[in-house]
């Protein structure tokens, strides 16, 4: 028998109380892990998913809504602009590249994005490039001759189970316009992973309103200028116009980060309170356990157990409870993060990895075991000082 066996037996003896202690630690740790993973995931989604274009041009309205919808596929689309706006921008000598985008409905929750193959073109300035996992890009078909070819983002393909050659549509009214999968993209860790791309002519034919008008609609135009210095003037001109607005994605991203930062600060305070409550609970539990065991401690001392051995047993108890609680908390945290990630993906299009491993896990695990063990220090000192003769007396 070892001190470890003695500590284990004590833990078994107060099984219900100790299970509750472990559960409270696990809940606290799980909350910290899940919050950290989700917050980091949301941040990374915005950082990695941000666009390389300098301007997003759309209809008058909220610039945040425009950027969130066109770049991150969140929120609802802004009102339409018309195709000539794109033509004007494409023809502007200050513009290096203009890409038209129309946001449509969705298939099984994966947003339709109509655009041109230029959206996927590789440029020196692009941080991420699109590569095909299978098949090819949709054809740049001329207006009036849609081919209904679709390219799926990696997550959209995985989730829907669609393969090359599959035809699909959502809703009976769309049965006349089935899309055919011609390509699947590799993961980009951006909102594009959850999109279904096809050509603008296909979109205009599928959209009842667009079919009836001569001048075709768009949701936005992504603009890259030749020189950064041209951006402010172009931004001003587009915003002066009665029909269009231009938004800097970087400015919107900064506003989102500020908002996230505030939420993070509030969350940190809440988590700190949770941590204090959990440590206090462990402390009270250990203290109470030591008080209840003072007769057993006195017996062990009478059998020759040195004070240091008693101290080690109580600290070992606290360490074992903290370790099990921390380990269970890590698992629970990742499980909650997984559920959170699914909800975020389904509701706001945020794609994140709930099982991302890093410094977070060992730091939280080590910290909890250390703080938990230290919470056992005072009860251990109490056990250390147990008066043997006094506590050996028969209970009356």
Which chain residues interact with another protein by CB under 8 A? 1-3, 5-6, 9-10, 12-13, 295-296, 299-309, 388-389, 392-395
Select from 230, 132, 235 the least CA-distant residue to 181.
132
Label residue 124 exposed, middle or buried (CB < 10 Å: 0-12, 13-18, 19+).
exposed
Smallest gap, in angstroms, from Cβ of residue 41 to another protein?
44
Cβ nearer to another protein, comparing 237 with 387: 387
Whole-angstrom Cα distance, residue 38 to residue 351?
10
Beta bridge partners of 157: none
Whole-angstrom Cα distance, residue 95 to residue 156?
32
Instruction: Let me know how long the chain is.
Output: 396
Whole-angstrom Cα distance, residue 201 to residue 207?
10
Smallest gap, in angstroms, from Cβ of residue 18 to another protein?
12
Residue 256: partners with Cβ closer than 8 Å, 6 or more residues away = 46, 64
Smallest gap, in angstroms, from Cβ of residue 387 to another protein?
9
Residue 354: partners with Cβ closer than 8 Å, 6 or more residues away = 37, 38, 41, 334, 337, 338, 340, 341
Smallest gap, in angstroms, from Cβ of residue 21 to another protein?
17
Rounded to the nearest angstrom, the gap between the alpha carbon of residue 72 and the centroid of all alpha carbons in its chain is: 13
Cβ nearer to another protein, comparing 221 with 297: 297
Q: Are 200 and 113 in contact (CB under 8 A)?
A: no
Smallest gap, in angstroms, from Cβ of residue 306 to another protein?
5
Smallest gap, in angstroms, from Cβ of residue 13 to another protein?
4
Cβ nearer to another protein, comparing 65 with 391: 391
Rounded to the nearest angstrom, the gap between the alpha carbon of residue 204 and the centroid of all alpha carbons in its chain is: 33
Cβ nearer to another protein, comparing 359 with 395: 395
- Count CA within 13 A, CB hemisphere, residue 385: 5
Q: Are 194 and 351 in contact (CB under 8 A)?
A: yes
Smallest gap, in angstroms, from Cβ of residue 379 to another protein?
17
Sign (positive/negative) of CA torsion 141, 142, 148, 150? positive
Smallest gap, in angstroms, from Cβ of residue 312 to another protein?
12
Cβ nearer to another protein, comparing 174 with 309: 309
Cβ nearer to another protein, comparing 10 with 73: 10
Cβ nearer to another protein, comparing 237 with 292: 292
Cβ nearer to another protein, comparing 18 with 85: 18
Query: What's the DSSP call for residue 214?
Result: S
Rounded to the nearest angstrom, the gap between the alpha carbon of residue 249 and the centroid of all alpha carbons in its chain is: 20
């Amino acid at each position: 028998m070892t001190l470890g066996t003695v500590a284990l037996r004590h833990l078994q003896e107060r099984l219900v109380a100790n299970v509750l202690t472990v559960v409270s630690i696990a809940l606290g740790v799980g909350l910290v892990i899940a919050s950290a993973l989700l917050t980091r995931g949301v941040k990374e989604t915005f950082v990695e998913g941000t666009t390389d274009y300098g301007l997003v041009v759309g209809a008058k309205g909220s610039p945040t809504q425009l950027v969130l919808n066109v770049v991150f596929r969140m929120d609802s689309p802004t009102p339409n602009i018309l195709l000539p706006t794109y033509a004007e921008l494409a023809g502007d000598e200050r513009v290096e590249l203009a890409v038209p985008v129309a946001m449509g409905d969705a298939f099984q929750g994966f947003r339709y994005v109509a655009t041109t193959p230029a959206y996927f073109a590789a440029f020196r300035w692009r941080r991420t490039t699109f590569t095909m996992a299978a098949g090819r890009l949709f054809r740049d078909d001329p207006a009036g001759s849609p081919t209904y070819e679709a390219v799926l983002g990696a997550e959209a393909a995985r989730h829907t189970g669609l393969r090359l050659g599959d035809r699909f549509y959502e809703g009976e009214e769309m049965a006349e316009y089935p899309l055919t999968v011609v390509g699947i993209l590799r993961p980009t860790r951006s909102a594009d992973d959850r999109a279904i791309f096809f050509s603008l002519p296909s979109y205009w034919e599928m959209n009842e309103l667009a079919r009836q008008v001569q001048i075709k609609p768009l949701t936005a135009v992504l603009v890259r200028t030749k020189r950064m210095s041209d951006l402010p003037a172009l931004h001003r001109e587009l915003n002066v116009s009665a029909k269009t607005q231009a938004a800097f994605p970087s400015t919107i991203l900064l506003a989102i980060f500020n908002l996230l930062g505030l939420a993070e600060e509030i969350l940190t305070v809440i988590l700190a309170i949770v941590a204090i409550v959990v440590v206090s609970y462990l402390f009270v539990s250990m203290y109470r356990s030591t008080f209840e065991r003072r007769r057993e401690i006195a017996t062990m001392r009478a059998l020759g157990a040195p004070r240091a051995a008693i101290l080690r047993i109580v600290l070992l108890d606290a360490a074992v409870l903290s370790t099990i609680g921390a380990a269970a908390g890590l698992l629970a945290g990742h499980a909650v993060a997984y559920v959170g990630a699914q909800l975020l993906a389904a509701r706001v299009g945020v794609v994140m990895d709930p099982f991302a491993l890093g410094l977070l896990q060992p730091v939280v695990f080590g910290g909890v075991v250390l703080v938990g063990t230290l919470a056992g220090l005072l009860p251990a000192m109490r056990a250390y000082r147990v008066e043997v003769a006094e506590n050996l007396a028969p209970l009356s």
